[in-house]
Amino acid sequence: MIGIAAHYEENHQFAEAEKYHLKAQLPKDAVAMYTRNNMWEAAHKVAKVHLSDQQIADLYVNQARQLELQGKFKDAELLYRKIKEPDLAIHMYKKVCRCRMATTTQTE
């Protein structure tokens, strides 16, 4: 079923892909698929129905950290806000500022 879900995702048929992820009892994969495709509301809808609050928090923190590494800070912030963790977003932005300041200082 996972291969079928991947096929539908590749063809941008996300609702069909979601069905197969859920049939395979892999709601985290459905949430990850929507997140990869910047479909935040769809991801949150699946997560709220199929995952516990703690599972959602863990998943979103992990995904937000991946987004940080990719330089997608606004997307990471959105995930932190979804799980009511604004302090994690603030910490992320502080790290970015420190890194940019250090880079600027080194080049001068």
User: What is the per-residue pLDDT across 19-74, written as a single tens digit (0 to 9) for each?
Assistant: 999 999 999 999 999 988 989 889 999 999 999 999 999 989 998 999 999 999 99
Q: In this structure, what token pair is assigned to residue 108?
A: 């001068």
Average pLDDT over residues 9-16: 96
Distance, in Å, from the CA atom of 36 to the CA atom of 12, rounded to the nearest integer, reads: 12
- 64 Cβ partners below 8 Å, 6+ apart? 75, 76, 77, 79, 80, 88, 92
Handedness of CA 72, 74, 80, 86 (dihedral sign): positive
Q: What's the pLDDT at 97?
A: 82
- Assess whether pLDDT exceeds 90 at residue 87: yes
Give the 3-state secondary structure of residue 38: coil
What pLDDT sits at residue 68? 92
Residue 25 backbone phi and psi in degrees, to 5:
60, 45
Contacts 24+ apart (CB under 8 A), 19-26: 22/46, 22/50, 26/2
The answer, yes or no, to whether residue 107 has pLDDT greater than 70, is no
**83, two tokens:** 């799980």
What confidence score (pLDDT) does residue 98 get? Answer: 78
Work out the end-to-end distance of the chain between its first and last CA atoms, rounded to an integer number of angstroms: 55
Say what the pLDDT of residue 46 is.
Answer: 96
